[in-house]
Structure 1
Amino acid sequence: MPKNPAPETPDVALSKLDSALLNILVKDGRASFADIARQLGISRAHARARVQALQSNGVIELFGAVINPEKLGKVISTFVDIKVAPAAMEQISQELADCKEVVSLYIMSDLQSLHVHALTDSYETFDAFVRRHIFNRPEILSVDCKTLMTRVKNRRGGARL
């Protein structure tokens, strides 16, 4: 069975209330049930029940913090597309996923490409990461690398990292 099966039909049909509630939580995951209730014009108990139902149904997977990487000195945000020999895909993807510089990693639909987002504090640190984990590996067939210049829009509700 694949780790990430193809998306299925949604298990839960969201009401307008649930969609509005989720929008509140995406903007502020620490919003209290009282704040949610006030914004939606419902009781605190109803807000709590809806959040708990959305958690039980797997719509809300977790609550987390959105970290500003620049405040942590991680100012170099680089996207690396790597073509890998199919026989080495599992090994290479796991090795890269275990690197502290890698904040997200995806196996793409062609089953030979990895899309990697790396965050480092300097170009020198990124260079050391690439030399250690990507260069001179015969199972890595090609690399395309681009550094972020300006973030225009980022995904709300997920890590900015």
Structure 2
Amino acid sequence: MNRPTTEAPVVSPASVASSGQPALPAAAPVLSKLDSALLNILVKDGRASFADIARQLGISRAHARARVQALQASGVIELFGAVINPEKLGQVVSTFLDIQVSPVALEAVAQELADCNEVVSLYIMSDLRSLHVHALTDSVPTFEAFVRRHLFNRPEILSVDCKTLLTRVKNRRGGARL
């Protein structure tokens, strides 16, 4: 068996600002091959037991548990949760919206949309005047009602580009590729 190395714990260098300036964000944690392999197992099956993880990695169950706990403590693993198939719940209309907003209203509009049940994900983009929104609804009329309720006749919303998903080719779950 090709065992991943059991390298040092997750390291996240802290940035210290002695000049009174705000500190820069900490650098990304450096992951060992073992931790990367462990995370890939959890991305595929978040319910994998410590014994299953240990068996796949060729390490002890206690070591697998310690690595998972270290990754949780460092913030690399934020949570364990269920991935729900929206289509099985009748949420069959998947739409992506690119919304241009007056910069002074960007955060308020973003928060209002984030509070909507239809919104699955929402991002403020680097131009600081646009939002990228993924919405799920059970039908086109329901989506239209959402748009009319939250986007139409609002002077702070400058434009909306709407695209409905035809086919999902890839949907990476669990964050970054390791």
Cα deviation 1:122-155 (Å, max 9, x = unaligned): 0000000000000111110001000000000001
Q: Percent identity?
A: 84
Spell out structure 1 runs of 4+ moving beyond 4 A: none
Cα distance in 2 for residues equivalent to 1:146 and 1:7: 34
RMSD, matched Cα: 1.5
Per-residue Cα deviation, 1:72-97 (whole angstroms, up to 9, x for no partner): 00000000000000111121111101
Which structure would you say has the larger Rg?
2
Task: Tell which has more relative contact order, 1 or 2 (C-alpha 8 A, sep 6+).
Answer: 1
Q: Within the alignment, does 1:143 sit opposite 2:166 as a pair?
A: no
CA distance in 2, matches of 1:50, 1:154: 27
Structure 2 length-normalised TM = 0.83
User: Structure 1 length normalisation: TM-score?
Assistant: 0.91
CA distance in 2, matches of 1:79, 1:43: 44
**For 1:43, which of 35, 40, 60 is the aligned residue?**
60
Alignment of 1:6-17 (within 5 A): 8-10=26-28, 12-17=29-34
Cα separation, 1, equivalents of 2:117 and 2:173: 23
List gaps (5 residues or longer) in structure 2: 1-23
The aligned runs of 1:103-114 (5 Å cut-off) are 103-114=120-131
Kindly tell me the number of residue pairs found equivalent between the two proteins: 153
In structure 1, the gaps of 5 or more residues are 1-5
Work out whether residues 66 and 157 of structure 1, in 8 Å CA contact, stay in contact via their aligned partners in 2: no
How far the C-alpha of 1:8 sits from its partner, in A, is 4.7
* Structure 2 residue 146 is the aligned partner of structure 1 residue 129: yes
Aligned-pair distance for 1:7?
6.4
Distance 2:26 2:64 in 1: 28
